[in-house]
Structure formats: C-alpha cells, structure tokens
Amino acid sequence: MKSNQCSDGKYYIICDLCINCGLCESACPVNAIRSSDFCYKIDSSKCVCCGACADACPAAAIMISIF
C-alpha cells in the first residue's frame, strides 16, 4: 500500500484493489495521481485531499483513513 498524509491528518491510500483503470488520475483536479510501475501513486506534495479520486474509483481502491 502507498499512503499520503494531508495536513488535517487524513491519509489517502491506494491499495491492492486497484484495477489500473485510470479514473482516479482523470478525476484529480490538481494532477496529483500518476501511473508508475503498473500502479498509481498519489503525489503528497500536490494532493489537496479533496477526495475526488476516491469518489471516482470503481474498485474502492482509494481509502481515506484518519490517524
């Protein structure tokens, strides 16, 4: 799993359920998601924690956790 922490303590996680459809990348308003080595990664320096990627994911592979 890959995770990114936002300023409010949320983590957006792309897990192994990812089907590599690319909908998360298309949905991201700040282009913070990129395909890399057969998986998608969230760039924490660009992510604004809006949740658009999680909403767009048909496989529920992007989860929001608060630690």
pLDDT single digits (tens) 9-38? 666 778 888 999 999 999 999 999 998 777
Residue 36: Cβ within 10 Å count = 10
Q: What is the mean pLDDT of residues 38-53?
A: 85
Q: How high is the pLDDT of residue 10?
A: 64
Q: What is the mean pLDDT of residues 58-67?
A: 80
Q: How high is the pLDDT of residue 12?
A: 74
CATH fold for domain 2-66: Alpha-Beta Plaits (3.30.70)
pTM of the model: 0.78
User: Long-range CB contacts (< 8 A, 24+ apart) of 48-54?
Assistant: 48/6, 49/6, 49/7, 49/8, 49/10, 49/12, 51/12, 52/27, 52/28, 53/12, 53/24, 53/25, 53/27, 53/28, 54/12, 54/24
